[in-house]
């Protein structure tokens, strides 16, 4: 699966902000972006990756059970 995430630099501070995405709505993306993106973008991406991997894994398990 592929998901897209568009980040944009904010002004002279160089802080990143979330613009667009295709992340499923039940993943707490806005909260993660608000809490982690300005402070630690790598941690934000790492946690987001964990959420997406868990989602895809669960979906594949469901497909195999059917």
Q: What is the CA radius of gyration of the chain?
A: 14
Report the number of distinct structural domains present in the chain: 1
Q: What is the pLDDT along the chain (66 residues), one digit of tens a residue?
A: 789 999 999 888 788 999 999 999 999 999 999 999 999 999 999 999 999 999 999 999 999 998
Closest to 4 (Cα-Cα) out of 28, 30, 22: 22
Determine the pLDDT at residue 25. Answer: 95
Question: Which domain covers residue 32, as residue numbers?
Answer: 5-65
What is the structure's pLDDT at 14? 81
């Amino acid at each position: 699966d592929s998901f897209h995430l568009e980040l944009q630099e904010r002004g002279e501070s160089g802080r990143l902000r979330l613009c667009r995405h295709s992340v499923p709505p039940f993943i707490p993306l806005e909260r993660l972006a608000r809490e982690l993106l300005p402070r630690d973008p790598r941690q934000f991406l790492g946690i987001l990756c964990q959420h997406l991997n868990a989602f895809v894994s669960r979906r594949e398990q469901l497909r195999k059970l059917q």
